[in-house]
Structure 1
Amino acid sequence: MTTPSLRHRFHRSVLREYDIRGVVGETLGEDDARAIGRAFGSVVAKAGGTSVCVGRDGRLSSPDLEAALVEGLAATGLEVRRIGVGPTPMLYFAVNHTAASAGIMVTGSHNPPDHNGFKMLLAQRPFYGRDITLLGRVAAAGAFLTGEGRVRDVPVFPDYVERLRADWDGGTRALTVVWDAGNGAAGAVMAALAGRLPGHHILLNGAIDGTFPAHHPDPTDPETLVQLQRTVLEQAADLGIAFDGDGDRLGVVDGRGRILWGDHILPILAEPVLAAHPGAPIIADVKASQSLFDQIKRLGGRPVMGRTGHSLIKARMAELKAPLAGEMSGHIFFADRYYGYDDGLYAAVRLLGVIAGWPEGETLADRYDIMPHPLNTPELRFPCPDDQKFDIVQAVKARLVEEGAIINDVDGVRVTTPKGWWLLRASNTQAVLVGRCEAATQAGLDDLRAELARRLREAGATMPAFG
């Protein structure tokens, strides 16, 4: 049923590739949340769904946005199951645990405190890309279904914590672990979970506080890990674990305070998974180190390079029936004994179990020491208008193809050379281009950066100087 009086247009910046995001009071507000509820609820109902779980993070704007969202969902005739405050993976768990038709999480993830947004899934699959574009069309037309829905509270916190704990497989070996929730939505679950695991656990910033008073909750930013690193060293801990604002990503530091990125963590987790599933595909995003893909192959797995983006990884994982996947950003996805979505808390349990199962005296720092450590740049992100970024990548790719370069074009272009590799891709969520380079030597790395800059100039773009 079309309801012209309810037609709604979103700010052009909020409907993203993987989710919906905006600045509260500027590009995103309660009217938008209500319209998202009506549009998403209509899509769910038209697909035959009858129920939707709703969760929220601890941001100051989340209660009001959640209330408006619930109002919009109920207006389409659905049963709305409110699970309360918690990490995004708890919402994913609730959809599976309660056999709901869909789920939607109010969360700003790792973004600044004045940002917020929504992550969705429909029938246990990620809702992204064209699905989100459809919401915009439904809202603009006022093409909302109407009905008398039902709203009820369905707390799943105890069941979620128990489900996380249930896959602990490290025996009774006592590790000393420092945990840092960064005042994000994972705080309460982190505390409950740590209290049920063996070992000695030191908890940092567990109080959920949408102002993030301790530090910004983004474990891909080394500055946000300084407190964790210091505490690990002071407490002589085995390792430290940090979570992002909504708990679907984790960061790790070893007992010497060194940061392990996603492509360090994934091969450690893959070893027991591949022992149970020999020859299985293991997916990592296109930004990951070549050493990761080489290690997966040595462990008897089939390395698969995938597109960056949690929704894209989840979809590819389901397609290939991969038991494990991961991204440089710290999204880790387990389908081995779990549901196939990204859950930083679950990944932490599995990581701790692996480490606790190593021979007595072997540490994460020992493993880090023997890992390959090629030289690489961080993500090189530089502004590029949305209407130009994909064309620039295509222009670079066309020239490389003409020259017979060795490329992987699953997500932008990743170019393999005798010195290493470099990557150029367009961000799906921002008006930026993203580059990365990796080589065995500093001279090689410098040459690859120069090559990336030259290719961009040839396509009419400029890469700024990075330190």
Structure 2
Amino acid sequence: MPHPLPPAILREYDIRGVFGETLGPDDARAIGRSFATLVRRAGGSRVAVGYDGRLSSPVLEHALVEGLTASGVDVVRIGLGPTPMLYFAEASMEDVQGGIQVTGSHNPANHNGFKLVLEGHPVFGEALQRLGAIAAAGDWCDGIGRIETREVLNGYVGRLAAELDGIAPAALDGLRLGWDTGNGAAGPAVEALVARLPGTHHLLFTPVDGTFPHHHPDPTDPANLRDLQALVAAKQLDFGVAFDGDGDRLGAIDATGRVIWGDQLLMIFAEDLLRAQPGAAVIADVKASAALFDHVAALGGRAEMWRTGHSLIKSRMKQTGAPLGGEMTGHLFFADRYFGFDDALYAAVRLIGATVRLGRSVTALRGAMPTLATTPELRFAVDPARKQAVIAAVHEQLAAAGAKVVALDGVRVETADGWWLLRASNTQDMLTARAEARDAAGLARVLAALDAALAGAGVVRPAAD
């Protein structure tokens, strides 16, 4: 029978819902049947399936597998692990044409969802809407798929560790690092990884626990980095890295406890890459600092600004052949020596290698970056019926005023002091904004310009707490 999926769970980049409210086993089963139908109609026959450490993930994984096999697709179960381990399985197994990870990523503990990949490409946007239409119509292939289990962790971790094979062990032996997996799905993989790496490693919260008892696994929130900052200070470590709940986003701090944000990590990776590939393209999202784009250009690279969203950045990299990309959220993508998907564990190893190749510590690399006045991401609720209309009204004002605007994803406006961004969230009924300037006085002027544009569209930005 047809099974219409709640429209709210089909997001722009993936599928997300609240377990027991907007997402349950019947939805997972229908998603499995619909995805299997897409796979078969594309000529495929086998899908890898993994899941994260949330309490609801085993139940959803079981129902998902039932749906996949009921539509005639064979399933390779890889078990509990980070999302990039699922991506690795899909990319490295020659007999697998697609993959699904059951994961709530960095969302609250009672949320869950699915990230999908088909023939090496993320399934998002219109493709997810097609999946929903197939479920609503019950337009499913039928069949009896087989199930097998494969061990992937050792091969995955081996590939991560191999990233440092070309570096003399003596250059790595003195490194002292901290790792905080926040009780997320990356914990066991990180334990196995550091056992293979030179240097001294201190681990936090690696046991998988879907209640996240120590802190929430979202490294974009500075509050979630305090344990790592304390560890780095107490043990006098060179730097520390932190992961989100499914291990596809990286956070980092230097030896002094300073946060290294996603665009700043991308600055380091771009400098490392451009030594080996002069003139290479680097893709970053519209939230990224102007310092990143200036840095890439100064190094002779080609910086491209693109729309926010891990699926969108990955797809753009495939379209253009860019070897490196990233976004503010800590999704980082390497396609020069790796597969092009977002893998925070690989990014952490790559950061180790970059410090050696560049001959500077993470702290020195962070310290060389310009000091700018920036806001965090500012988010405020808006009537969903007006979300896009507000952006359109602001854009119209700016065009009439002759402002310098990038309208790739919302509006990013260049001013004499810096820039401001206003865009509609693809996952919530929110407008999001960000601003950057050379100093605090300039930032105040940039924010005043943002507020004036919002007021012209009938919106008042709430005061910061």
CA contact (8 A) 1:239 1:254 kept: yes
Q: Match for residue 11 of structure 1?
A: 6
TM-score computed with the length of structure 1 as normaliser: 0.97
The match for 1:384 among 379, 382, 385 is: 382
Say whether residues 1:447 and 2:442 are aligned partners.
no
Say whether residues 1:393 and 2:391 are aligned partners.
yes
Which SS does the other structure have where 1:342 is aligned? coil
Report the residue type matching 2:235 in the other structure.
Answer: Q
Say whether residues 1:136 and 2:114 are aligned partners.
no
Residues 193-272 of structure 1: matches in 2 within 5 Å? 193-272=193-272
**Could you list the per-position Cα deviations for residues 134-172 of structure 1 after superposition, in whole angstroms to 9, with x for gaps in the alignment?**
111111111010011111101211100001111114432
Report the residue type matching 2:80 in the other structure.
Answer: V
Report the residue type matching 1:346 in the other structure.
Answer: Y
**Could you list the per-position Cα deviations for residues 101-131 of structure 1 after superposition, in whole angstroms to 9, with x for gaps in the alignment?**
1100000000111000000011100100001
Aligned equivalents of 1:275, 1:319: Cα separation in 2: 23
Q: Match for residue 117 of structure 1?
A: 113
Range with greater deviation from structure 2 (268-277 or 156-165) = 268-277
The match for 1:88 among 83, 86, 98 is: 83
Say whether residues 1:41 and 2:36 are aligned partners.
yes
Report the residue type matching 2:92 in the other structure.
Answer: H
Q: Match for residue 404 of structure 2?
A: 406
- 1:300 shift after superposition: 1.1
Aligned equivalents of 1:224, 1:295: Cα separation in 2: 28
Ranges in structure 2 where 5+ consecutive residues have no aligned partner:
none
Question: Stretches of 4+ moved more than 4 A in 1?
Answer: none
Ranges in structure 1 where 5+ consecutive residues have no aligned partner:
1-5
The match for 2:72 among 73, 77, 87 is: 77
Aligned equivalents of 1:7, 1:358: Cα separation in 2: 56
CA contact (8 A) 2:272 2:358 kept: no
Percent identical across equivalent pairs?
A: 54
Q: Match for residue 67 of structure 1?
A: 62
**Could you list the per-position Cα deviations for residues 419-445 of structure 1 after superposition, in whole angstroms to 9, with x for gaps in the alignment?**
110000001111000101100121110
Report the residue type matching 1:73 in the other structure.
Answer: L
Q: Match for residue 52 of structure 1?
A: 47
**Could you list the per-position Cα deviations for residues 237-269 of structure 1 after superposition, in whole angstroms to 9, with x for gaps in the alignment?**
000000000000010000011100011111111
Say whether residues 1:336 and 2:336 are aligned partners.
yes
Aligned equivalents of 1:7, 1:62: Cα separation in 2: 24
Aligned equivalents of 1:52, 1:369: Cα separation in 2: 45
Q: Match for residue 151 of structure 1?
A: 147
- 1:272 shift after superposition: 2.2
Which SS does the other structure have where 1:214 is aligned? coil
- 1:358 shift after superposition: 4.3
- 1:387 shift after superposition: 1.9
Report the residue type matching 1:22 in the other structure.
Answer: G
CA contact (8 A) 1:170 1:352 kept: no
Aligned equivalents of 1:93, 1:368: Cα separation in 2: 30
Q: Match for residue 3 of structure 1?
A: none
Aligned equivalents of 1:182, 1:378: Cα separation in 2: 22
CA contact (8 A) 2:183 2:209 kept: yes
- Aligned-residue RMSD, C-alpha: 0.9
Say whether residues 1:107 and 2:100 are aligned partners.
no
TM-score computed with the length of structure 2 as normaliser: 0.98
CA contact (8 A) 1:171 1:353 kept: no
Aligned equivalents of 1:36, 1:155: Cα separation in 2: 24
Q: Match for residue 461 of structure 2?
A: 463
Range with greater deviation from structure 2 (55-64 or 381-390) = 381-390
- 1:367 shift after superposition: 2.0
**Could you list the per-position Cα deviations for residues 12-53 of structure 1 after superposition, in whole angstroms to 9, with x for gaps in the alignment?**
311100000011011100000000000111111111111100
Q: Match for residue 433 of structure 1?
A: 431
CA contact (8 A) 2:274 2:299 kept: yes
CA contact (8 A) 1:22 1:116 kept: yes
**Could you list the per-position Cα deviations for residues 263-298 of structure 1 after superposition, in whole angstroms to 9, with x for gaps in the alignment?**
111111111211222111101110000000000011
- 1:356 shift after superposition: 3.0
Range with greater deviation from structure 2 (368-377 or 65-74) = 368-377
CA contact (8 A) 1:427 1:434 kept: yes
The match for 1:127 among 123, 126, 133 is: 123
